Amino acid sequence: MALVVQKYGGSSVGTIERIKHVATRVAKSRAGGDQVVVVVSAMQGETDRLIKLARQVADRPDTRETDMLVSTGERVTIALLAMALQEVGCPARSLTGRQVGIVTDSVHTKAKIEKVGGDRLRETLAEGMVPVVAGYQGINEKSDVTTLGRGGSDLTAVAIAAALEADRCEIYTDVDGVYTADPNIVPNARRLDRVSYEEMLELASLGAKVLQTRSVECAMTYRVPVVVKSTFVDGPGTWVAEENAEMEKVTVSGVTCDRNQAKLTVIGVPDKPGVAATIFGAVADAEIVIDMIIQNVSQENTTDISFTVPRDESKNALEIVRRVAKEIGAKDVQLTEGIAKISVVGVGMRTHSGVASQMFKALARERINIMMISTSEIKVSCVIEDKYAELAVRTLHDTFGLGTVTRA
Amino acid sequence: MALVVQKYGGSSVGTIERIKHVATRVAKSRAGGDQVVVVVSAMQGETDRLIKLARQVADRPDTRETDMLVSTGERVTIALLAMALQEVGCPARSLTGRQVGIVTDSVHTKAKIEKVGGDRLRETLAEGMVPVVAGYQGINEKSDVTTLGRGGSDLTAVAIAAALEADRCEIYTDVDGVYTADPNIVPNARRLDRVSYEEMLELASLGAKVLQTRSVECAMTYRVPVVVKSTFVDGPGTWVAEENAEMEKVTVSGVTCDRNQAKLTVIGVPDKPGVAATIFGAVADAEIVIDMIIQNVSQENTTDISFTVPRDESKNALEIVRRVAKEIGAKDVQLTEGIAKISVVGVGMRTHSGVASQMFKALARERINIMMISTSEIKVSCVIEDKYAELAVRTLHDTFGLGTVTRA
């Protein structure tokens, strides 16, 4: 008898019919002899609906109140799914983030999990019931509701799997696995049978959208085997697990595209020590994650600094950086929103060279200008104009032969 | 500086515009020097929307899960109202039933409050903030969410006012006070300036809908002065307070109509001791409130017993009573849904006689058949066919001169 955590995303529980479908799936797993814990997201569209309400009340809604508001979405789903499970004869009980003991820090709307209690989960399992857990949410030390940021339900599922030492964590979504590229952009993209945690981390953080980045980090830390599958179609899915020799034979495993970034450029920054630290420190204090950074060569004792931030925080970041720019005597701050970050990822890069230059050449052939570059051990990323995004992804997918290479 | 608890019902917070309107009202009270605690209901239609979702999943949704589901409605409102208050410069913080320490028993969907903690409320007030509290909900000893039944937000408000020893509890609704009859039925119905707790209790439980019954009981027990006012129009409202000599001069203060009851008749009940106790015990065990009871004179050692229950629990009650009827050897059980209970209420009845006979005569004049009768010290109720309900109310309102008598 295995202990399995199953997570169903917003599209998997987007309608009453789909909730009923998930109930039959869960009941089937349980009938097959597994102990099942279910984690669910809000019904598709619900979180957006709630945020829209908040925006009608306030331009920048208070984050604590935003968490109080949006955390209701998952609560609706857990109650409905627990009812649906009971209807198909499967004893079930809904539990909130608080009730399963998910304790977080107090950074509302993007809290970090500090602890997963799990006692109530174990009790509920021992009673022969399926715990149906609200993803995406926890409470802080003041007992206020917090949320884990978009995609946080994945993290809830993996964190619970780690806390319960579950045999595996199954992530059910509207695609049947992790692909070499977004099939909407690249028609001949292939499903990967297996990716390493490290690759998945890059793929996730670069915009593959299938698994939330922090959930992959958590899975890697606690060595939780994760499998990404379709809610609607049976299939093997994609396993996210430890790296093996087979994987290293392949140079590039996927091409990703992240269109949710914006670029800020601080122009005419006085070229003296500590200036960059002042700018980035102020942005970090606002809990805004900076991704890529470029600093131009100094001219006449001033320099330009560019960096990217999540697009939905770009206005906030712009305001902060404008204030800091004034303090440090920089000339101007510019915001560029129409950008895309295209990346190629693969653990094989550790042992294969030339990936970056192949990438630059391929983009040049299509006359796509590269605005920023960053690299890591297992990926190369380029920021380009957003309008070239699809073309760039298709070109790179072809260049690295992803549509044809067979991979175990 | 007074401490005031203000409760806003579902129609008062039914749209974003209305939530903003409530925010300005609350801010105004606070600017006037009062300490304000706000209690709110779910946005109009929200609870029904959620229950409809549940019914699409299950015919009889589990009550624990129903509470998990519907309690989200108030959470949405408190978050939005707290945001709206912050927008108008009034520091505010949303708090759930759990967070303000409302502990209830475990009878899901109609839990009773056992304790109101209030520490977090006092802290929040001491920080200079307006606590915005989710009405209608609490938690039980297992820390599961419970709800207090329809209209439970009134009870939350009064219970909090009692716990904080507030100077008054203001109930804001879509009408400007308590009327001699439903103005939708009786165009010349008058607003009462003042009613006693006892009268209000009868008016509330008989279907006046303005204040939930248990909230009036709670106000009476803890002597909380309550005033019912309109959210939309300024005015004196109706005070619900202790009885005074002025009130006793008036025989009848109001006529009410309750259309949310159904009648069950057990036919051919063996006429032996303990039979009634068996029937009503079984219904009470299911936490269904029985209102009126009639037992016919015994014929050939059998009798018929009729009683009324809330209409939305009639199917459930029917099932229970059918089972019991079989056990005790009764012939049949019949359910009648199209009934209305018409009542006249007034503390003056204690010293004036003849109200009941005046009532029966008035109904007879209109050829309205009386199916059941019940009386108390300060009210007389008759169950009639539902189709005569409006006619009966108008007739009785005229008969007792309620449209013309001036009352202090």
Percent of chain B whose pLDDT exceeds 90: 74
Closest in A16, A54, A72 to B56, CB measured? A16
- Residue A404: pLDDT band (50, 70, 90) is low
- Spell out the residues 6+ positions from residue A361 whose beta carbon is closer than 8 angstroms to its own: none
Chain B positions touching A53 (Cβ under 8 A) are 16, 76, 80
Q: Which of the residue ranges A6-15, A227-236, A296-305, A372-381 would you say has the lowest mean pLDDT?
A: A296-305
Task: Flag whether pLDDT at A291 surpasses 90.
Answer: no
The DSSP code sequence of B88-127 is TT--EEEE-TTTTTEEE-S-TTSPPEEEE--HHHHHHHHT
Closest in A19, A75, A144 to B57, CB measured? A19
Among A124, A49, A46, which Cα is nearest to A85's? A124
Task: Flag whether pLDDT at B406 surpasses 50.
Answer: no
Contact: B76, A69; criterion CB under 8 Å = yes
- Residue B208: pLDDT band (50, 70, 90) is low
Residue in B closest to A15 by C-alpha? B53
> What pLDDT does residue A394 have?
96
* CB-based contact B79:A54 (threshold 8 Å): yes
Percent of chain A whose pLDDT exceeds 90: 74
- Spell out the residues 6+ positions from residue B273 whose beta carbon is closer than 8 angstroms to its own: none
Chain B positions touching A78 (Cβ under 8 A) are 68
* CB-based contact B132:B105 (threshold 8 Å): no
Q: Encoding tokens for residue B122? A: 């006092």
* CB-based contact A255:A343 (threshold 8 Å): yes
CA–CA gap between residue A249 and residue A405 (Å, rounded):
11
Q: Encoding tokens for residue B230? A: 């309109």
CA distances from B9 to B18, B22, B74, B209, B228 (A): 11, 11, 10, 12, 11
- Sequence spans of domains, chain B: 3-174
> What pLDDT does residue A209 have?
75
> What pLDDT does residue A406 have?
47
> What pLDDT does residue A207 have?
66
> What pLDDT does residue A275 have?
85
Q: Which of B78, B83, B127, B144 is the best residue to mutate to test the A interface, defined by the most A CB atoms within 10 Å of its own CB?
A: B83
> What pLDDT does residue A65 have?
98
Residues of chain B whose beta carbon is less than 8 angstroms from a beta carbon of chain A are: 16, 19-20, 50, 53-54, 56-58, 61-62, 64-66, 68-69, 71-72, 75-76, 78-80, 82-84, 86-87, 93-94, 96, 98-99, 143-145
Task: Flag whether pLDDT at B322 surpasses 80.
Answer: yes
Determine the distance in angstroms separating the CA of B361 from the nearest CA of chain A, rounded to an integer: 51
Tell me chain A's radius of gyration from C-alpha atoms: 22
CA–CA gap between residue A199 and residue A177 (Å, rounded):
14
* CB-based contact B340:B386 (threshold 8 Å): yes
> What pLDDT does residue A175 have?
87
CA distances from A280 to A191, A266, A309 (A): 38, 11, 11
Chain B positions touching A62 (Cβ under 8 A) are 82-83, 86
Q: Looking at this protein, which amino acid is placed at residue A31?
A: A
Q: What digits encode the pLDDT tens for the residues B372-396?
A: 998 888 999 999 999 999 999 999 9
Q: What digits encode the pLDDT tens for the residues B347-359?
A: 888 877 789 889 9
Average pLDDT over residues A283-297: 85
Closest in B57, B61, B98 to A20, CB measured? B57
The count of C-alpha atoms lying within 13 angstroms of the C-alpha of A130, restricted to the half-sphere facing its C-beta, is: 36
Average pLDDT over residues B104-116: 95
Q: What digits encode the pLDDT tens for the residues B263-312?
A: 999 999 988 888 888 899 999 898 898 888 888 776 778 888 999 999 98
Residue in B closest to A59 by C-alpha? B87
Q: Which of the residue ranges A287-291, B25-29, B204-208, B232-236 would you say has the lowest mean pLDDT?
A: B204-208
Among B45, B39, B58, B57, which Cα is nearest to B15's? B45
Contact: B83, A76; criterion CB under 8 Å = no
Closest in B50, B84, B98 to A57, CB measured? B84
Among A363, A274, A382, which Cα is nearest to A324's? A274
Contact: A82, B68; criterion CB under 8 Å = yes
Among B180, B179, B182, B193, which Cα is nearest to B237's? B193
Determine the distance in angstroms separating the CA of A140 from the nearest CA of chain B, rounded to an integer: 13
Contact: B72, A68; criterion CB under 8 Å = no
- Residue B251: pLDDT band (50, 70, 90) is confident
Count of residues in chain B: 408
Residue in B closest to A76 by C-alpha? B69
The DSSP code sequence of B313-333 is GHHHHHHHHHHHHHHHT--EE
Average pLDDT value for chain A: 92
Average pLDDT over residues A142-151: 93
Task: Flag whether pLDDT at A223 surpasses 90.
Answer: yes
Contact: B62, A99; criterion CB under 8 Å = no
DSSP class of residue B382 equals: E
> What pLDDT does residue A385 have?
95
Chain B positions touching A50 (Cβ under 8 A) are 76
CA–CA gap between residue A55 and residue A63 (Å, rounded):
12
Exposed (0-12), middle (13-18) or buried (19+): which is B266, by Cβ within 10 Å?
buried
CA distances from A55 to A62, A74, A137, A144, B55 (A): 10, 20, 21, 21, 31
Contact: A16, B53; criterion CB under 8 Å = yes
CATH of B3-174, one of 2.30.42.10, 2.60.120.10, 3.30.365.10, 3.40.1160.10: 3.40.1160.10
> What pLDDT does residue A245 have?
75
Among A275, A157, A126, which Cα is nearest to A224's? A157
